[in-house]
Amino acid sequence: MTDLRQAQGPTLIEAAQAWHDQDPDKSTRAELATLILAAETGDSAGTTELGRRFEARLEFGTAGLRGELGAGPNRMNRVLVAQAAAGFAAYLLEKNAASPIPDERPSIVVGYDGRHNSDVFARDTAELMAGAGVRAILLPRMLPTPVLAFAVRHFGVSAGVMVTASHNPARDNGYKVYLGGDDQGSQIVAPADAEIAAHIERVAAEARVQDLPRSDDFETADEDVVDAYVSRTAALAAPSGTDVTVVYTAMHGVGWEVASRVFAAAGFAEPVVVADQIVPDAAFPTVDFPNPEEPGALDLSYATATLVGADLVIANDPDADRLAVAVPDADGSWRRLSGNAVGALLGWRAAERIVAADGDGTLAASIVSSPALQRVAELYRLDYADTLTGFKWVSRVGGLVYGYEEALGYLVDPDKVRDKDGISAAVDFLSLVSELAARGETVADRELAFAEKFGAYESSQISLRVTDLSDIGALMARLRDAPPSHLAGIRVDHIDDFADGFGPFPPGDILRFWLDDDARVIVRPSGTEPKLKVYIDASSTDGTGAERQAAAAATVAALDAALRDLLA
């Protein structure tokens, strides 16, 4: 097959035609035919667009695959997914054959959410896995990502695939990969990602999609796997406190059906739902980005919560692996807690639970998350681990009893799943709010108590979305070549550059600035979106809890303003 990255002129059209001829999807085949015709007739816009589709392949890495739907190797489509499935099958077969005690055959469970073509990509994967000789189990219907992560361990399979783009825009889809066995159901990391990618590249170079063996001899899981997930998750609920009024949104995703069953089994009152966002809808019509962190994404939730006088808003992202919560302020407005705030409160809760049971273990968070969890671990004499960004690293920490990352990802039950789980985290947080209500307290009271016990920790994040990815590299180069000596008048003590690796961490495009006054700034490119991300943290242990909160918040606000100016 033509080297797509170097295809120009007639070879570009030849590569596109070869892709077109093996595409089983009439929609993307027609799309590509239109672009080929435009290029053949000299239409510059069509030629440019065709070039974008074939200038590269979507890279298979530690996030699997994720990209915009459309025709060509630089988009998500049935050809690309078929090549990925066949390559992954070859990897599983190779690993099984090399095992000292090989299984009868390797196995995989496949799940999917409600995005465009998720069900199609999932069935293609099951058929191609079965055709290659891998035992394949397809989940019974669209379900949340945590159910798939649970199913990998529940069935004891070699691997799992979840077809989802999580909280990405509506035009995207993705392919998230998990490994069983020694990996315990965690997402893939190096070197497995590169090994799988090499098999995928070989399949793409040597085989046409029509020639890949397929079989409908795959299994479809029954409801028992969902029932088991619901039962295990509901068991996380603490003894009943006081009923609270909760508003829930699924953000047009697949979370509600399973979450509602979990809430009921746990003994909680049924939440009030955000009606316009509760049914799966791949168009995500009420939000620009179906991400609870994005401005405006929770506006309908706030309106519903105000209308019913709610005590709490719970939001899952479209595949329900993330959780956002919001609480009412004294002035009647709504305040979404940051991922760090939720992570710290759940971490404190986990530490209390472990110590009460005379247990031990490790609390863990990604390096861009707040230092607050480490302080909790120190006071409760538990182990603590920093990890690279990405939950695939948090989930692999030895002895893990609780882990989180600031991007709304929490793992409160590592024995059940080895990935972030927005539904189990919702149960744990709802239990906390219920217990607080029984004592006549609020989440704000608990935050104040945290500041008094551990110190106040505040954080903020800047996300610079770009259209040209080279802009991110230029900004990172600028910070390396001319690093600031002060930020918001606070001296930069030293900088950790992860470019060549740092401590136990492998090389990465990360800069970490340590400032006086217990402040920290981390800058890195996003791993899943065209963004430069900046993480700002500050803390205070001086004065009362309220004074500590105010001081830390003031430092964060000053640093936020200074960094926006610096990166403009």
Catalytic residues: 166
C-alpha distances in Å from residue 228, one per residue of 196, 211, 349: 31, 38, 24
Structure-block tokens of residue 475:
């900004």
User: Nearest-CA neighbor of 536 among 410, 305, 423, 370?
Assistant: 370
546 C-beta neighbours (distance < 10 Å), count: 12
Letter for the amino acid at 289? F
* DSSP secondary structure code for residue 532 in this structure: E
User: Residue 531's beta-bridge partner residues?
Assistant: 465
CA distances for 556 relative to 416, 536, 538, angstroms: 36, 6, 6
How far, rounded to the nearest angstrom, does the alpha carbon of residue 337 sit from its chain's CA centroid? 18
535: β partners: 461, 522
Beta bridge partners of 109: 137, 160
Say if residues 255 and 144 touch (Cβ distance below 8 Å): yes
Q: Which two tokens stand for residue 263?
A: 């809430």
What does the alpha-carbon distance between residue 283 and residue 276 come to, in Å, rounded to a whole number? 12
Q: Residue with structure tokens 């538990």? A: 382
Whole-angstrom CA distances from 111 to 59, 136, 508 are: 21, 11, 31
CB 290 within 8 A of CB 173: no
Query: DSSP letters of 218-286?
Result: -EE--THHHHHHHHHHHTTPPSP-----EEEE-TTSSHHHHHHHHHHHHTPPPPEE-GGGSS--TT-TT
User: Residue 488: what residue type?
Assistant: A
Question: Could you say which DSSP state residue 338 is in?
Answer: P
**Which residue from 536, 435, 531, 444 is spatially nearest to 167, judged by alpha carbons?**
531
- Inter-CA distances, 493 with 462, 477, 480, 487, 512, Å: 22, 20, 15, 11, 11
Beta bridge partner(s), residue 11: none
Q: What is the DSSP letter of 57?
A: P
Sheet of 490-497: strand order equals: 456-465, 531-540, 519-525, 511-515, 490-497, 486-487
Q: How big, in percent rounded to 5, are the helix, strand and coil portions of the chain?
A: 45, 20, 35
**Is residue 410 helix, strand or coil?**
strand
Cα–Cα distance, 348 to 344 (Å, whole number) = 6
Strands 107-112 and 159-163: parallel
DSSP-based three-state secondary structure for 193: helix
Secondary structure element (H or E) that encloses residue 337, with its range: none
